[in-house]
Amino acid sequence: MFGGGGGVSAAAYAAVMAQVPLARHLLRAKDLMDARYAERLTVEDAARAAGLGRAHFSREFKRAFGESPHVYLLTRRLERAASLLRFTDRSVADICMSVGLESVGSFTTSFTRTYGVSPTAYRAKFPPAAHYARVPACVVRFYGRPQHQTIREDGGEQRN
């Protein structure tokens, strides 16, 4: 049985996979990388999601999207890190770990190569995170609601 006893044989699964266009398999892997970039995700995991071998997956991914799966995942992580640097006051090390990277030194090198400045210098280009402090929508709705009061409710005299 394929997939941990889900009731589908490996041959049946392969037959179904053969009917689906290759681009669909690659998009499945790309979606996985987009959704789980913060996790310890490898090219092997993405290849497995696409139902392809690692080498074949890497070749086809690069052909379809113009960059290798490794570069795509790293770019996705760096984009998220750049956003966190702009809108939060979390430390560079914390941001590095939260986007799925494990070495602050490698993160800083990759970030500098991609954005032209170090993560700290990049953050300095933008207003402090306190300027972006967001108020939860439920609070805005509560305090933004008009207050309908009748005479009795606001302490005025009652009408007879």
54-112 residue pLDDT tens: 999 999 999 999 999 999 999 999 999 999 999 888 999 999 999 999 999 999 999 99
The pLDDT of residue 22:
87
d(CA 5, CA 21): 26
CATH among 1.20.1260.10, 1.10.10.60, 3.40.50.1820, 3.40.50.150 for 11-132: 1.10.10.60
The pLDDT of residue 18:
58
What is the per-residue pLDDT across 10-60, written as a single tens digit (0 to 9) for each? Answer: 666 555 555 668 889 999 999 999 999 999 999 999 999 999 999 999 999
35: amino acid identity, one letter: A
Measured in whole angstroms, how far is the alpha carbon of residue 18 from the centre of its chain? 30
d(CA 131, CA 50): 42
Measured in whole angstroms, how far is the alpha carbon of residue 160 from the centre of its chain? 63
Cβ(106)–Cβ(74) under 8 Å?
A: no
Q: Which two tokens stand for residue 82?
A: 């750049």
pLDDT at residue 155 greater than cutoff 70: no
Quickly state the pLDDT bin for 131 (edges 50, 70, 90).
confident
